[in-house]
Structure 1
Amino acid sequence: MHTTLIILLMLTSSLIGWSQTPKKTYQGQGQVQEVDTSPRPIQQQYQTTFAFEDAGIYISNEFDGARLNGALMKEDTLMVWITPENAPINPSPWYAFKIWSDEPKEALVKFTYQNAKHRYFPKLSRDGESWQPLDSANYQEFNKGEADFGPNSLPETVVIKLSLDADTLWVAGQELQTSKHIFAWIDSLSQQSYISYSDIGESRLGRPMRNMKISEGKQEDKIVMVFGRQHPPEVTGWLAMKAFVETLTGDSKLAQKFRKEYTTYVVPLMNPDGVDLGHWRHSAGGVDLNRDWNQFYHPETRAVRDFLRKKTDEGAKLYFGVDFHSTWDDIYYTLDSVSVTNTPGLMAEWLSSIEDNIPDYEINAKGSVNGTGVSKNFLFREFGAESLVYEVGDNTPRPFVRQKGQVAAEQLMRLLLDRE
């Protein structure tokens, strides 16, 4: 029986990056504010199955997307330890593990985090594919709002009760959506004659940066860019992006007309290493990729930058870019109010039309200074594109997530075509 917490190993590979000055700057507020995104080492998660044979309980992190850094049985409670890939880091801990028992029983599982508070409400699955939220009656929080990580603060913890048996039970912060799931989705869509994909580069650890092309046009002079999963746990953003893209690829007359006029490119998995390694937020380069769109120290952001530069050098124009994320609540982070884009007024029209086409929905939009190294600012500064970071709430009901993705795509297609 394991009674010792696993000590994490440090991955200390030599990491080298480079940057390049943008070719063109469009009108907007603020100077570029550099944030150091040079590569940093990460802690490699030790993968194993913890066997507590006296209790007849087993818990494992031996699968892609797992995050479980240690486990200890204390009296009748299984203590699980969740730590990040490195620090400092946004304190939004991801967790995912498999658990089972020799005999049917109920078990208490207590989460312990390193300098972080519990964020994601547990999801359960019996096959790793179909997921349901834990019954709230089996979920209890302690010291909520009291943890400030000072010397006298009480740690914020969560205890859940699970019904175990010999069949594997998967427990995760959100539905598990790794590169396997996303690449299978790309393969499925690519059965359509107007959808194809190619790899525009590799991640730091050699995983493919897969880029999907959606077009029925004879030329690629008008481009829309879609991407997401820069932050591994942000699954609701991926689900909204999935619905958005599936609407663009659908059979409606609107979608068919749009595909003849506009080419859409989709990089649905910007951080394949972080997703498959079960990271809280960072890439295998140890940084938040959505701060690297100024310096381009990392191969993931460079792949998209170089791809778009090649397309615009060939004569295409980028009209719109959207980067899907997740946070506590739905927020549309737009450009600042003085930015002059390729499609003046499009963002305000688009947000208003989304609101008008979803009953009782009120848009929460926030314009932000364009001087930071996030994706939307790069897409505007270099290409003049209307762009935003679209944040989807962690606990937004999944049918509503899909509805918002569908409506957003429909209204974008309509508005762009109306400008022809």
Structure 2
Amino acid sequence: MSFMIPSAIKISSQFDAGNIEVLDLTNPQDIQLSIRKDNQSDFFQWFHFRVQGAANQPLTLRVLNAGQAAYVDGWPDYRAVASYDRETWFRVDTAYEADTGELVIQHTPAQNSIYFAYFAPYTWEQHLDLIAQAQQSALCEVHDIGTTLDGYDLNLLKISKPTESEAPAKKQIWVTARQHPGETMAEWCAEGFIARLLDEDDALAQSILEQAEFYVVPNMNPDGSIRGHLRTNACGANLNREWETPTAERSPEVLAVRSLMQQTGVDLFLDLHGDEALPCNFIAGQEGAPHLPDTILAQEDRFKQDLAQINPDFQLERGYPPGKFGPETFTIAAFWVGREFNCPSMTLEMPFKDYDNRPDADFGWSPERSIKLGESMLYPIHQWLQADL
């Protein structure tokens, strides 16, 4: 029995974190695409789509509106990622044509179904698996702390060891990731951090848990993640500009986390992000914030130095200039938390591009390296705890 299979190329994005609009698909050498804006927002840059029916055909995919994206300086030297199995994501030939404002991706698929994305996606199903697997540890409790505007769960992991009644009070450490949903490397990094912290055979992790309790929110922005947004939640709110005056109507995610922080207190805060333009890993502390105590700044500087010592994928030479955010400063998580609790409060930024000091021609900056960086974060935390003894 025989049947006819359609031979035309198809492009789709109707799946978790999908984002693309097809403008013209008639010529495989001139496929014209457009990235959809975040809902009720002008932000856009994240893309994630599937191409079918193009095995062994050279493709030229042109993203026509790349020149109007949120961070145009993120396109030079950037290469898109692709995957056949949605597990291994490799880099493909990509060029930004500044004169036309187009991002041009060229690739000849070896198989009939291939996915392209801005960075390796971290899907909602992966997130739910991460939460479920973490809960299998006796060290971890899963807490539902709210519901997003689209009706998704906002989960927090509390990671701690039992404490003897006469033991000193433990430090309260908070870690959040993916306030900006398109920055998926943040949740990959959180995965590595959580896994190592829960490893009962890891002496460093167990030593840390004798001195500290952790509150981890691996995905602060489920709605934007699922919708395929770059930077905002369901109603177009940039969560990392909502920390001074969050509301249930606009930013329930921030309101829930902030309220819990005020109950537990915060001794150290880490917020995990990605940066479109800089081809390196760096930490933005509270430099330039008004009335920042020298003791807090010194702790943040030491934290960065300790991380650079343990992981060569982290560097100290490049980052944001002090005072970069101007009047927005205290709407940002790290600055608001640092001021509210008078504690070290830092934003870890990872690249969408490759890390130029240690380039990888096949994979660039990747989920695997993000995971390893998350694992490395335990070392500077341990050093910070020891310095406080």
TM-score scaled by structure 1? Answer: 0.75
CA deviation string 1:69-106 (max 9, x = no partner): 2332244422112121257645x511111111177533
Report the equivalent of 1:350.
Answer: 303
Whole-Å separation in 2 of the counterparts to 1:244 and 1:155: 38
Report the equivalent of 2:237.
Answer: 287
- Partner AA of 1:285 in structure 2: C
Unmatched runs of 5 consecutive residues or more in structure 2: 1-5, 356-364
Count of paired positions: 349
Whole-Å separation in 1 of the counterparts to 2:84 and 2:26: 26
Does structure 1 retain, via aligned residues, the 8 Å contact 2:80–2:105?
A: no
Does structure 2 retain, via aligned residues, the 8 Å contact 1:342–1:384?
A: no
Whole-Å separation in 1 of the counterparts to 2:267 and 2:295: 6
Whole-Å separation in 2 of the counterparts to 1:414 and 1:217: 22
For residue 158 of structure 1, the aligned residue among 76, 80, 104 is 104
Does structure 2 retain, via aligned residues, the 8 Å contact 1:57–1:100?
A: yes
- Describe the SS at the equivalent of 2:24: strand
Matches within 5 A, 1:69-218: 69-76=21-28, 77-86=30-39, 89-90=42-43, 93-101=45-53, 105-113=57-65, 115-116=68-69, 117=72, 119=75, 121-134=79-92, 136=93, 139-142=94-97, 144=98, 146=99, 154-163=100-109, 165=111, 167-218=112-163
Which structure has the highest strand share of the two?
Answer: 1
Whole-Å separation in 2 of the counterparts to 1:417 and 1:65: 41
Report the equivalent of 1:222.
Answer: 171
Does structure 2 retain, via aligned residues, the 8 Å contact 1:179–1:276?
A: yes
Does structure 2 retain, via aligned residues, the 8 Å contact 1:289–1:301?
A: yes
TM-score scaled by structure 2? Answer: 0.81
Unmatched runs of 5 consecutive residues or more in structure 1: 1-52, 147-153, 312-316
Q: For residues 194 and 113 of structure 1, do their structure 2 counterparts lie closer, same or farther at Cα, with a shift above 3 Å needed?
A: same
For residue 301 of structure 1, the aligned residue among 254, 257, 277 is 254
Whole-Å separation in 1 of the counterparts to 2:135 and 2:12: 34
Report the equivalent of 2:192.
Answer: 243
- Describe the SS at the equivalent of 1:239: helix
- Describe the SS at the equivalent of 1:163: coil
Report the equivalent of 1:390.
Answer: 348
- Describe the SS at the equivalent of 2:215: strand
1:271 aligns with 2:221: yes
CA deviation string 1:308-348 (max 9, x = no partner): 1222xxxxx41100110001332311113642399673212
Whole-Å separation in 1 of the counterparts to 2:238 and 2:192: 25
Matches within 5 A, 1:309-348: 309-311=262-264, 317-327=265-275, 328-329=277-278, 330-336=281-287, 338-340=291-293, 345-348=298-301
241-250 vs 170-179, which moves further: 241-250
Whole-Å separation in 2 of the counterparts to 1:161 and 1:168: 13
Percent identical pairs in the alignment equals: 22
